[in-house]
Amino acid sequence: MEYSKLVEIYEQLNRTTKRLEKTHIIAEFLKDINAEETEYVMLLLEGRVFPSYDAREIGVASRLMLKSLSTATGIPTDRIEDEWRKLGDLGLVAESIVKTKKQATLHSAKLNVKKVFGNIRKLAELEGQGTVERKTQLIAELLTSAKPLESKYIVKTILGEMRIGVGEGAMRDAVVWAFFGDKIGIKYVKEGNDVQIEDRETYSKYADAVQSAYDAANEFAVVAKAAKSKGLDGLKHIEMHIGIPIKVMLSLKVDTIEEGFETVGKPAAVEFKYDGFRIQAHKDEKGSIRLFTRRLEDVTRQFPDAVDFIRKNVKGKNFIIDSEAVGYDRKTGKYLPFQNISQRIKRKYEIERMARDFPVEVNVFDVIYYDGKNMISEPFESRRKLLEKIIRQEPKKIVLSRFIKTSDKKEIEKFFEDAFEAGNEGLMFKSLHAPYKPGARVGHMVKFKAIMETLDLVIVAAEWGEGKRSKWLSSYQIACTDEDGNLLEIGRASTGLKEKEEEGLSFMEMTKRLKPLITSEKGKEVKVKPKIMIEVGYEEIQKSSSYSSGFALRFPRIIGLREDRGPEQASTLDYVKKLYEGQKKS
């Protein structure tokens, strides 16, 4: 297939922001390409030539691209740089200068997708002496034959700057529409940006099959190729492979224990929420173990201690387990914040010393694959019982996550205290009956974190809003006091209030209270008499030179009015300092 056809799809996708229209464009395109091309095309549509879990990098920076553009066009590098400064995008620069390029051999051959894909992949394989020159030649070879629009997308793909707004959902649905649309009577209505489906039950069957295949393969290129060549049967035969990480299951956030129960049901599985980093551990039948982070980065080499713990303490011919590696203090045994061990993730040298100085404990909380069986459709309770059978716990090396099964709020409150005392962030609530959903935030698992002490603060200034909030004072500068009663700014708050009066404390009510207190107005900013007290929650207190208190609240939210208190009873700077020193440093 000619590369120009793919480029036209890029252009169509860039011309719309509508997800359904993007899905339709991709689906229609996929219908007309063969199975081999499907693999290349799906990756290129994602702006890549390697799957997300593949650690290989193209390794081309802007300077090398400037040199390649000069080689391909005969235009001096300094002139190309001038154009870059004007346009700010090397893809647009390529499109512009290719229109005026000088080489006599230009347009000598039409580019095809396979050639573009192959040359870009080769860039990642080059190393050693002469690498820069060979990379330059590979890129120039493509640009020499490229039309202006083709050159733009070649450059953007190589530099990793493709922005065509194609997400996972659009890719998944495009596979369903392209290869099973005739079986489910699907029709895209462009005028209303809508989709009509004749047989929704059958649609769900095929959509679930595509999603399940993607969950196993973690690569749409594999899924689309199987669907194109073998249909539904091809999707069913896509399996997980040890050594290819899948996306980890993600959690929603809740603010209360009651909300946790509402989301996952009663009784719930409740676990410690560890402040470490995710490790997905793979063991193959030869005994080789590989570790992957939440971002699917291979960190096996950086954590030989964790590899050793898993090898010695987890039974099974092959498996994939999900866990959290948590740093701890050798003297006290207490868990430490993530930042204490984060430096190990990118470490290439002195690995053994780092392991001694920054030890980790592997806390295992799920199993995804075991002895040849895909476990993600099994209920969580069954997966947990399997873990209890196969893991030999060894404190400060590898353990099962702390776990209770309960419907009792008081039991959870006590468990929360235990978690916090041990140095953890909070708790995880999990549905006992739910499957493992890679990459999804679907309510099977939620996190309940520690809430910092609230502060009673006074509003000292406000700002008129924009758009539909233009008639309200909707952003408030807040202050604490020092020991002399002086007001010291500690940030701005705007979240927590409602737009409709019937829903609670509203922007309208706050505006009514503040307007009589205005002492000066400059542009949209007003100064007010310090009369209105509010209770403010936040995620963290940070040091800041932006405010007179020397501190700032991260993600402040207004909880309510404190009408029983005056400015002289606002939280003091000493109290703010005490909370700052008592919280986990970030």
Tell me which of 449, 469, 485 is where a domain ends. 449
Closest to 323 measured CA to CA, from 412, 264, 249, 267: 249
From CA 448, how far away is CA 263, in angstroms rounded?
Answer: 12
Backbone angles phi, psi at 527, to 5 degrees: -100, 140
* 558 falls within a domain: yes
Cis geometry, peptide bond prior to residue 267 (ω within 30 degrees of 0): yes
Is residue 549 a contact partner of residue 488, using CB atoms and an 8 Å limit? yes
State whether 423 and 491 are in the same domain. no
* 165 falls within a domain: no
For residue 473, the cross-strand partners are 464
Closest to 305 measured CA to CA, from 315, 297, 296, 313: 313
State whether 425 and 462 are in the same domain. no
State whether 397 and 483 are in the same domain. no
* 87 falls within a domain: no
State whether 462 and 431 are in the same domain. no
Residues in the chain: 586
* 21 falls within a domain: no
Beta-carbon contacts of 467 under 8 Å, excluding residues fewer than 6 positions away, are none
State whether 259 and 384 are in the same domain. yes
Is residue 156 a contact partner of residue 47, using CB atoms and an 8 Å limit? yes
Is residue 425 a contact partner of residue 273, using CB atoms and an 8 Å limit? yes
Choice among 101, 135, 247, 273 that is catalytic: 273
Q: Tell me, yes or no, if 577 is annotated catalytic.
A: no
State whether 577 and 459 are in the same domain. yes
For residue 517, the model assigns a pLDDT of 87
Residue 126, helix vs strand vs coil: coil
Tell me which of 404, 420, 449 is where a domain ends. 449
C-alpha to C-alpha distances, 142 to 26, 80, 113, 158, 465, nearest whole angstrom: 24, 18, 11, 11, 51
From CA 69, how far away is CA 94, in angstroms rounded?
Answer: 7
Angle, CA 32 vertex, CA 31 and CA 34 arms, to 5°: 100
**pLDDT tens string 233-277:** 999 999 999 999 999 998 888 878 999 999 999 999 999 999 888
> Helix crossing, 62-73 with 90-98: angle to 10°?
0
State whether 431 and 542 are in the same domain. no
For residue 163, the model assigns a pLDDT of 75
Is residue 292 a contact partner of residue 53, using CB atoms and an 8 Å limit? yes
Six-digit token pair at 427?
């708790």
From CA 55, how far away is CA 52, in angstroms rounded?
Answer: 8
DSSP string of 38-69, one letter each residue? HHHHHHHHTT-SS-TT--------HHHHHHHH
CATH number at residue 461: 2.40.50.140
CATH number at residue 404: 3.30.470.30
* 563 falls within a domain: yes
Beta-carbon contacts of 170 under 8 Å, excluding residues fewer than 6 positions away, are 19, 22, 23, 26
Angle, CA 380 vertex, CA 375 and CA 386 arms, to 5°: 65
State whether 346 and 471 are in the same domain. no
User: Cα-Cα-Cα-Cα dihedral of 58, 61, 66, 69, to 10°?
Assistant: 10
State the pTM of this model.
0.72
* 355 falls within a domain: yes
Closest to 164 measured CA to CA, from 6, 387, 14: 14
| DSSP category for residue 32 | T
State whether 461 and 442 are in the same domain. no
State whether 434 and 409 are in the same domain. yes
Full residue range of the structural domain in which residue 552 is found: 455-582
Is residue 325 a contact partner of residue 293, using CB atoms and an 8 Å limit? no
State whether 512 and 413 are in the same domain. no
Tally of structural domains, the chain: 2
Closest to 39 measured CA to CA, from 110, 114, 111, 112: 114
Beta-carbon contacts of 388 under 8 Å, excluding residues fewer than 6 positions away, are 400
| DSSP category for residue 501 | G
Tell me which of 402, 427, 449 is where a domain ends. 449
State whether 360 and 318 are in the same domain. yes
Is residue 545 a contact partner of residue 466, using CB atoms and an 8 Å limit? no
| DSSP category for residue 503 | G
| Burial of 243 from C-beta contacts in 10 A (0-12 / 13-18 / 19+) | middle
Is residue 473 a contact partner of residue 511, using CB atoms and an 8 Å limit? yes
Low-confidence ranges of the chain (pLDDT < 50): 103-106, 585-586
For residue 301, the cross-strand partners are none
For residue 564, the model assigns a pLDDT of 63
